[in-house]
Amino acid sequence: MSEQSHASAGRTLATRRRPVQQRSQERYGRILDACAGLLDEVGATALTTKEVAQRARVPIGTLYQFFAGKEDLLAALATRNLDQYLQRLDHRLAADAPVGPARFTDLAVDEFVAMKRAVPGFGQVDFGLADVAAPTGLRDDRHLLDAGVDNNTAVALRLQALGGEVFATGDPAAFTLALRVALEAADAVLKLAFRGSPEGDPALIAECKRLLRSYLVEQPPAG
């Protein structure tokens, strides 16, 4: 990965104050858990920091010690989701090692689908807003993960770093772009797969894997 890619991947949006002490970390996690639960009930548009604080059983002032507002709160949840996704995917990759490009692609989809089915709030906010067309009142919902690049580019950089030499190409920047395109396509197909069922349509999930393998593995980007 280039120096520019490393810098971009690290320019994450910061919360107002990062928790250090155990008690603060517990409150921080409880606030994010409350946010995730409320997202399933009211959606991102209707979500308010007041309701999140009440659900988390903390004073509203405590919430604002950690988060500047609703956008910051959703950004922190998206970041936690991405960190959890990459950790879980890394465990899958280790269990299946050695993993080639096709298997990496399938496992990446499988883990996303597993989180979509089980993780609270993930249907509303995964690594960004799941429905970017819906009005939320946020200033910049396409840059929840990174102030410098859009959400899918930030995810592409993290996946590229996790994959290491699995997707070895002559031009890392070209592959970052290919990953970004793949993520946009996967977003659309998986959104369709989960539109009518909380478990997702197996046929559409399989087609998503086939599409990504065809694009990233069978016809990799030119170096």
**pLDDT(69) > 90:** yes
**Residue 112: Cβ-neighbour burial (10 angstroms; 0-12, 13-18, 19+):** buried
**What is the amino acid identity at position 211?**
L
pLDDT, one tens digit per residue, over 142-175 is 889 998 999 999 999 999 999 988 877 678 888 8
Q: Which residues pair with 129 in a beta bridge?
A: 125
> Token pair of 72, please?
């910051």
> Token pair of 189, please?
């197909």
* 10, 61 contact by CB (below 8 A): no
pLDDT, one tens digit per residue, over 80-139 is 999 999 999 999 999 999 999 999 999 999 999 999 999 999 999 999 998 766 556 676
**Residue 211: Cβ-neighbour burial (10 angstroms; 0-12, 13-18, 19+):** middle
> Token pair of 104, please?
């990496």
Backbone angles phi, psi at 14, to 5 degrees: -95, 145
- pLDDT, the chain, mean: 88
Query: Average pLDDT in the 183-204 region?
Result: 95
Q: Which residues pair with 146 in a beta bridge?
A: 12
CATH 1.10.357.10 fits 3-13+77-218, yes or no: yes
pLDDT, one tens digit per residue, over 12-21 is 454 556 677 8
DSSP 3-state of 185: helix
* 53, 28 contact by CB (below 8 A): no
**pLDDT(1) > 60:** no
**Residue 117: Cβ-neighbour burial (10 angstroms; 0-12, 13-18, 19+):** middle
